[in-house]
Amino acid sequence: MTEVVPAPRRHRGALLVGLSLAVVGVLVAGAVLLLGPGGDEDQAAATGATGFQDGPQGLVPQFIVSCAYSHSATNDPIVWPGQPGRSHRHDFFGNRTTSDSSTPDSLLGQPTSCERQLDTAAYWAPSLFDHGEPVAPLGLDAYYRPGPGIDPASVVPYPHGLMMISGDHTATEPQSTQFVGWACGIQGEMQVTPPTCPADAPLRLKVVFPDCWDGVNLDSETHKSHVAASVGGSCPDTHPVAIPQLTIAIGYPISGEGHELTLASGTVLTGHADFVNSWDEKELTRQVERCLNRGLVCGVVNNKAEDVVRPMPVRP
């Protein structure tokens, strides 16, 4: 970041004018201020009720967490708890201790690959293969937003221990790109199958999670029926609690022609992802209240380069 040196007093009027014009330019470009690992609402961009980041559901308030790739394993603590090696191969992000036997309580407070050290949630998705060889992900970005048309002030934090799966690992037909899709870079439109991407906007798998909760169950037999997607800006009566709509975007060093892509779960149509909420509860509440409820954009977005999808520093 360029250091701003205080101008001599006689030039400060001109400086203020210049800064005002610069701020207008930033807003027009749709930029978002960068938050550090701890986050602070004083660094958030005050954008009114709708925000200004163009995401899957338009211009909305949000906070964003970037997480490095942590590890891969044939484990799934939601679907196959306590059964190591039973699952297809997954790539794990966020909580570095996630294993077959992980629970929300065992994950809480453990080391994380996320830049926000109080996000100790677990995120995972099926491994991507190219010509039969596993592809090391570049990283994951997690976007927390109100659901489409949902009043931001009505959104409440996830309860500790909420588990969710979005997408269908058994799909043989295209899934709705409202929830699962492939794209090139940050702003790419979601597509059913991986597009051919330019080098400066590599491939991403995007998965959108439900934004309404039944208010009772942290999980369900299907791992899906306790949550639901909002419709027309409202949660259904069966799932009346508005929670953040989580969208994860996993970047891969895949661009150009000549790839033969599959997922560990099957074809590229079987995209899906899992989430266990083991955030520090106070920090998650703080982010929801200070960013989503107040209609602010908090996080990092770069529309000029793909360094949002990047290998994050490995922290102990």
Look at residue 311 and tell me whether its pLDDT is greater than 70: no
**Structural domain contains residue 205:** yes
3-state secondary structure of 125: strand
Cα 258 versus chain centre, distance: 28
CA dihedral 188, 191, 193, 195 (to 10 degrees): -30
End-to-end CA distance of the chain: 26
Q: Is the dihedral of CA 218, 156, 38, 21 positive or negative?
A: positive
**94 Cβ partners below 8 Å, 6+ apart?**
67, 70, 112, 113, 114, 119, 120, 121, 122, 123, 140, 142
Q: Among residues of the chain, what percentage have pLDDT more than 90?
A: 74
CA angle 139, 143, 149 (to 5 degrees): 155
What is the C-alpha radius of gyration for the chain, rounded to an integer number of angstroms? Answer: 20
- CA quadruple 77, 248, 281, 59: dihedral, nearest 10: -160
* Boundaries of domain holding 221: 31-298
Q: What is the pLDDT of residue 59?
A: 60
Quote the pLDDT of residue 298.
87
Residue 316 lies in a domain: no
Q: Is there a domain that residue 312 lies in?
A: no
Under the banding of pLDDT at 50, 70 and 90, the label for residue 299 is low
pTM to 2 decimal places: 0.79
The sign one gets for the Cα dihedral 300, 304, 309, 312 is negative
Give residue 269's pLDDT: 98
Residue 310 lies in a domain: no
Across 235-263, average pLDDT: 98
pLDDT value at position 121?
98
pLDDT tens figures, 134-184: 999 999 999 999 999 999 999 999 999 999 999 999 999 999 999 999 999
- Taking the C-alpha atoms of residue 14 and residue 29, their distance in angstroms, rounded to an integer, is 23
pLDDT in tens, 11-67: 344 444 343 443 333 333 333 333 333 444 333 443 333 323 344 444 679 999 999
Q: Please say whether the dihedral angle defined by the alpha carbons of residues 206, 210, 211 and 213, taken in this order, is positive or negative.
A: negative
Q: How many residues does the chain have?
A: 316
Residue 248, strand partner residues: 142, 207
**Residue type present at position 2:** T
Q: How many domains does the chain have?
A: 1
Rounded Cα distance between 289 and 295, Å, is 9
Task: Name the residue among 114, 83, 91, 107 with its Cα closest to residue 163.
Answer: 107
The secondary element (H helix, E strand) that includes residue 26 is helix 12-29
Q: Say if 304 falls within a structural domain.
A: no
Residue 306 lies in a domain: no
- 281 domain residue, yes or no: yes
Contact 65, 38 (CB under 8 A): no
Provide the sign of the torsion angle of the four alpha carbons 124, 128, 133, 137, taken in this order: negative
Q: How far apart are CA 29 and CA 15, in angstroms?
A: 21
In a domain, 153, yes or no: yes
Least Cα distance to 235 among 165, 179, 156, 178 occurs for: 156
CA distance 171 to 267: 8
Indicate the pLDDT class of residue 222, thresholds 50, 70 and 90. Answer: very high
